[in-house]
Structure 1
Amino acid sequence: MNPQLPPVAPSVTAELVAALTPRLRKRLDAGVAKVAGRPTVREGDVVRIAVDDDTGLELHTSDGVVTSAEAIRCGCLLAPDCLHRAAAASAAPVADPTEPASTTPPPPDSTALPATAVPSPHPIRTGTGTRTRSGTAIPDRDGTQSPGSPQPSPTAPAAAPTPISAPALPADTATPEQRAAAVALHEAAAEVLEAGADGAGAVLQAELLRSAHTARLAGLPRAASRAVAVVTALRAARGADPAYRLADLVAALRDVLLLAHRLPAATGPELAELRGTVRQPYTPDGSLRLYGLFAEPVLTATGYAGAITWTADGAGRLYTVADVAPGGASRATGAAERAVRLGDTSLTHRELSRAGLAVSGATVSPTGRLGAGAGVRAVRASGVAWHAEPLDRLWAVPPAEQVSRALTGERDLLFLDVTLIGTAPEAAGECLVADCGGLMLRLAAAHDDPALPHRENLRLLASARGARLRVVARLTPAPLPRALLLAVSHPTDPGVRVDLGLDRLRRADLPVAPKSRAVPGAPAVDEAPVHLLRRRVHQAAAGGRRVLAFPGSRDADGARLRRHGLGTGGELLAELQAAAADRPRDPFGRLLPADTGRFARAWLGAAVYTEELDRALCAAAWGAELVGLAGCTGPANGEERADPPAPSRSAR
């Protein structure tokens, strides 16, 4: 994927790939690699690519997005039936299917952030609603345009106001078009899973994009958004994008298969939730007195960047003010100095994170995002330190209660008092280990992009062993207490706060540790072997069914899971491996095509099980109560539905 190219609508890519001849389809992946490596020149709404000395491509955009096949023009002799147009569309970022990108300011109180503009895959809870963030472009799971997924997004100019009418209630059952769209999505996602990221080239991606476009037209924005997230992750994987994370691909693929599986039989409120919504409503909230908490940058693999500033009112409710638009690392690092677009205030995001705001005529979305309508007035007010009221009450809530609230869908921000005690190795690098009320808590960097100071700040904090800090972190469901570090109090001045994604610590900011004091390292953790199942789930997403079909012992991992009380996990692993390896034969002994449906069901059961088990083990590790555990799909034959067993003693 070439981030220098403008986003292309999913339907455009699907149309251009479908028009190729079988011979050209075989050459499409090579064409994508060639186009992605060519230099681009942008002149207004036109982006030009020099394919070679004699051939040039032009991508014409409308509000920053290529919205029709005719907008991609090629100068070669075979045009318009050439390979170059489809290759350019397949090499470009995917435009979000529910909201076109734009460089114009958002209309008041009606816009929503593109679902692709999200910095991390974990749900962010604000106020009474939820939103999702993704480290590599994972959109809101409910299909809403929030962000991180939450931030004002550029959109087309607002339409003229229309009379207010009673909202239409969703039908009790899915329409025939929605059922057909769900089946098409399931089939396309199953084919992607069959091939894995290594084998899911531009043709399979285009089929999934076609299914996403059909789902959007059928009124399924949530499924369409997640399908686009799968394609975005696939392109990042195949393009060796350093921002690519296998966990993001697994999460998006699991969501698509789960939505497609549940939609046809869903009714009432469950169906409305599975459908999702394109825009979030804004409701009046009167006058607000807000206090800045912290600000965090947004930088996604899909070409969106900016910042979100978190604030709280006197009762502890959280509100966000955001500025996210197409851009790269420079926009993410510079967004903190941009003025907040709310009322008449001239505060920057960095200033607001430490000051206050008095808002009248406020409008708020279900996720806690403040609207910027014409009737909203906002002026600067004084802020308070984290140790002063009313912000201090956020840290007064016991950690177990905060975790329980995060796991059950309210918000995933944690406000903790910790003492740094050491570091621990992880797959993505070292993380901090801190004592949080007797719990050994792991604090990892919230973003790995080198343009952002997260990792560098974490490395400096690792040398401040013994320092007592007040921190804001985002919960990561895991078998042991773990969170992503967003902001901390200054190591030598508790009245000063440091936004770890925007501010840079210096060695002089750190306290001098007593040389005679020995600080213990991270203790060994006795975990339930959930990784045995998760590893197979990730291997299948990366390499496809064939990587699980190799001969060998299939019993050792399942037996180990059962010994730790994870009998359902052992059965799911056995079914996943059997679905991968079993191939029927015709009467002449020839191998028939694999049952992609069975493998997809087995993989989905294992993926959902590990996610829910992580939540259960996370609650156990923090000593929190977990209400409303969703359960997960049982064995892929569909004979029964199995819930995760209680965490084993070793998991605690």
Structure 2
Amino acid sequence: MTDTHPLPPVAPEVTAALVAALSPRLRRRLDAATAKLAARPVSRDGDTYRVTVDEETTLEVHAPGGSVTAVDDIRCGCLLAPGCVHRPAAAGAAPVARPEPAADAGDAVPSDEPPEEPPPSEAPATPRQRAAAAELWAAGAAALEAGVDGAGAVTQAELLAAAHAARLAGLPRPAAAAVSVVGRLRAARAADPAYRLADLTEALRELLATSHGIATATGPRLAELRGTARRPYLPGGSLRLYGLFSEPVLAGSGHAGVVTWAADADGRLFRVPDVAPGGAERAAAAVERTVRLGDAALTHRELSRAGLVVSGATVSPDGRLGAGAAVRAVQAGGAGWHEPPLDRLWAEPPHRQAERALAAAALPEDRRPPGAELLFLDLTCRRPLRAAGGDVLLADCAGLPIHLAAADEDPALAHRDNLRLLATAPGLRLRVVGRLVPGPEPRLRLLAAGRPPGEAGQALRLAEPRAHVDLGYDRLQRTDLPEPAAAAPPGVAPAADEAAHAPLHLLRRRTDRAVAAGRRALALPGTVGDDRARLRRAGLATGAGLIEELHRAAADRGRDVFGRLLPADADRFARAWLAAALYTESVAHALCAAAWAAPTADTGAVSA
């Protein structure tokens, strides 16, 4: 039989072991074999997945418990098995398995030995942790030097092997970053519509920053770099929750699904996720899946507009509601965005919300307050902008110009189409939820939209006054826009130069280019002198020095006694790239805080 089932996730150590066992000749063929196998149909019979490699060869993948945790779970019927290229190719074509939390337990660590205990609070990292961090650094530096096109299955397997060793050594944060890099590399090489170069750059920066700092860190800083392997669920008592919105989840790790956000009477945010291995199709359909929480019998779409009464609740630090056997939950009435208690989320001034989001972005992911990156704003649509990286809609929020972008560009989701439709209605007033994007100008990724309180004219025409639109799921129609809809101004206004006064993009485009094309892309002659001068004139002297060192590290190669070029210093290049990436992030956050600052009395509204 034929089917469209994706392959089950494969544990990092399994992929690493299969690739390590290949001969050098087969390693050279691995990328082509992985691409070929990924295009073959997959059938499923219980926990067994079958892939027809050719007319004579069938490959079986056994996933007891939902994921592949042993090398022998992948079997091939070809004559070269078990030393064939098909088994590691199957592992490379499958998502990477991540430790997932049980309902009220911490993350399980799939390993063949227990993870190392954390050292005392003021002690430095253990020798085992330093060795694992060094291995992660070397693997990340190799991936950076190769770029997306060069970071094939072998490079990815080295990252996964280092991630497994780091997890066993008690370094879950850098281990998770390495797995994230692999997932985003695979998305980039497969031309996945959901892939963003900025996401891969961020993941690689996280990997190199954490693995580099572990060798010398102590105390709270070391604990922060190590991260936490378990997500504790603490008693939350009785909760009365009101649904806010649902958003699709399409992760570079090969996981997809939905997260529904809710708030209690005090404005605290909680989330109910349903994320599992899959792609855009699963993300697009997950909103209709039933919420697995106590006795609740409603879908995520229904929960985003209704409410819950939960007793015996358990809550993780990131706001995730546990679904243990002792948890009881029943459906209750919801509230509109303009009604108590949800309306309090929009009462906080925009610049205060941005400060809170930026402060949370500086923390490790497992220590961020739940929903801290979300902003709740009332704004007026103005006009579309032409900008790199996708469609942008200019909006006005109490005199503050804000750039609105789609939360995800995947065509299977509704984000992009909805943003384009909203851009055809200048003057449209919206109450929105968005995710802050740090940068020189105020920018949000739109997640949900509704009617501002008291609006009956230039507002969305929704079936119910209390309704809202989940922009990743609900596809707007022209009839949902106010009539008569104002015509958009002729042409598309160009976006303002994001670095007219602080040309930070000169550094960002080089760090991004290195990730995309590798070290050699920066070793070519370019306009370093002009860019260095522009950075100095803008007061970014440190950035000017970093951009010069980055190009030197990429281009400098010594020679041996016979005059032959030696290999480039990948470690030096990785250090130069990391310094530039961290500096870019730090300055971007400072510029973002300044851009979101409260408008002064003489600041006019955005011109339509």
- Tell me the TM-score normalized by structure 1: 0.82
Q: Does 2:182 align with 1:210?
A: no
- The equivalent residue for 2:575 is 601
**Segment of structure 1 superposing worse, 514-523 or 414-423:** 514-523
Deviates more, 1:170-179 or 1:519-528: 519-528
CA deviations 1:562-591 (Å, max 9, x no partner) are 111111111000000000011111233221
* SS state at 2:65 partner: coil
Corresponding residue of 1:636: none
Whole-Å Cα distance in 2 between the matches of residues 27 and 360 of structure 1?
Answer: 56
- Once residues 442 and 227 of structure 1 are traced to their aligned partners in structure 2, the CA distance between those partners, rounded to angstroms, is 31
> Displacement, 1:522?
7.1
Identify which of 403, 409, 415 aligns with 1:442.
403
1:430 partnered with 2:391? yes
Matched AA of 1:432: L
Alignment check: 8 A CA contact 2:386 2:494 kept: no
Q: Percent identity?
A: 62
* Residue pair 2:244, 2:262 contacting (<8 A) in 1 also: yes
Report how far residue 339 of structure 1 moved.
Answer: 2.6
Distance between the aligned counterparts of 2:324 and 2:480, measured in 1? 41
- 1:50 partner letter: T
Corresponding residue of 2:20 = 18
- Amino acid of the residue matched to residue 533 of structure 2? A
Q: Relative to 1, partners in 2 of residues 1:523 and 1:585: Cα closer, same or farther, differing over 3 Å? A: closer
Structure 2: distance between partners of 1:3 and 1:477: 37
Partner of 1:5: 7
What's the CA shift for 1:40?
Answer: 2.3
Q: Partners of 1:374 and 1:200 in 2: how far apart?
A: 44
What is the aligned length?
567
Distance 1:521 1:437, change over 3 A: farther
Distance 2:556 2:40 in 1: 43
Match for residue 362 of structure 1 among 313, 317, 320: 313
Distance 1:424 1:513, change over 3 A: farther
Letter in 1 for 2:301: R
Classify the secondary structure of the residue corresponding to 2:545: helix
SS at match of 2:355: helix
Indicate the larger mover: 305-314 or 441-450.
305-314
Q: Could you tell me whether the CA contact under 8 Å between 1:433 and 1:522 is conserved in 2?
A: no
- Following the alignment from structure 1 to structure 2, what is the Cα–Cα distance between the partners of residues 370 and 464? 38
Q: Distance in 1 between matches of 2:542 and 2:5?
A: 43
Unmatched segments (≥5 aa) in structure 2:
111-117, 361-368, 452-459, 600-608
Q: What SS does the corresponding residue of 1:95 show, helix, strand or coil?
A: coil
Please give the alpha-carbon distance, in whole angstroms, between the structure 1 residues aligned to 2:547 and 2:167.
34
Quote the residue 1:396 is aligned against: 347
Q: How does 1:157-236 map to 2 (within 5 A)?
A: 172-236=123-187
Change in 2 beyond 3 A, CA 1:332/1:244: closer
Q: Which runs of 5+ in 1 are unaligned?
A: 100-105, 115-144, 146-154, 156-166, 626-652
Partner of 1:492: 461
Distance 2:489 2:552 in 1: 51
Matched, 1:502 2:473: yes
What letter is aligned with 1:190?
Answer: A
Matches within 5 A, 1:63-78: 63-78=65-80
CA distance in 1, matches of 2:252, 2:181: 12
Higher mean C-alpha deviation, range 3-12 or range 363-372: 3-12
Specify the alignment match of 2:105 in structure 1.
110
In structure 2, the residue matched to 1:132 is: none
Shift, 1:178, TM fit: 0.4
Rounded to whole Å, the distance in 2 between the matches of 1:339 and 1:350 is: 9
Which residue does 1:620 correspond to in 2?
594
Partner of 2:602: none
Provide the residue aligned with 1:577 in structure 2. Answer: 551
Distance 1:514 1:190, change over 3 A: closer
Matched, 1:284 2:235: yes
**2:145 counterpart letter in structure 1:** E
Residue equivalent to 2:483: 512
Cα distance, 1:492–1:82 mapped onto 2, change above 3 Å: closer
The CA deviation string for residues 467-507 of structure 1, in whole angstroms up to 9 with x for no partner, is 21111111011110100111111413553211111212121
Q: Distance in 2 between matches of 1:404 and 1:309?
A: 24
Mapped to 1, the partners of 2:423 and 2:551 lie a distance apart of 42
Using the alignment, how far apart are the partners of 1:253 and 1:385 within structure 2?
40
Alignment partners' CA distance in 1, 2:498 and 2:89: 49
Matches within 5 A, 1:285-304: 285-304=236-255
How far apart, CA to CA, are the structure 2 residues paired with 1:583 and 1:3?
48
Is residue 514 of structure 2 the alignment partner of residue 545 of structure 1? Answer: no
1:86 deviation in Å? 2.1
Task: Report the residue type matching 1:453 in the other structure.
Answer: A
Aligned partner letter, 1:506:
Q
Q: In terms of mean alpha carbon deviation, does 401-410 or 169-178 score higher?
A: 169-178
Correspondence for 2:192 among 241, 252, 259: 241
Distance 1:275 1:467, change over 3 A: same
* SS of equivalent to 2:230: coil
How many Å apart are 1:50 and its aligned residue? 2.0
Tell me the SS of whatever aligns to 1:485: strand
Contact 2:6/2:278, CA 8 A, preserved across alignment: no
Query: CA RMSD of the aligned region, Å?
Result: 2.5
Aligned to 2:431: 470
Q: Of residues 54, 57, 75 in structure 1, which corresponds to 2:56?
A: 54
Label 1:393 to 1:552 Cα distance change in 2 as closer, same or farther (>3 A): closer
- TM superposition shift of 1:171: 6.5
Does the CA contact (< 8 Å) of 1:473 and 1:483 recur in 2?
Answer: yes
DSSP 3-state at the match of 2:175: helix
Task: Return closer, same or farther for 1:537/1:352 CA change in 2, 3 Å cut-off.
Answer: same
Partner of 2:422: 461
Q: TM-score, normalised by structure 2?
A: 0.88
Which whole-Å CA distance do the structure 2 matches of 1:168 and 1:604 have between them? Answer: 27
Contact 1:575 1:602 in 2 (8 A): yes
Partner AA of 2:238 in structure 1: S
**C-alpha separation in 2, matches of 1:107 and 1:27:** 39
Q: Deviations over 1:283-338 (max 9, x none)?
A: 11222222221111223344433221111111111111222223344433333233
Decide whether the 8 Å contact of 2:549 with 2:576 is kept in 1.
yes
SS of the residue corresponding to residue 472 of structure 1 reads strand
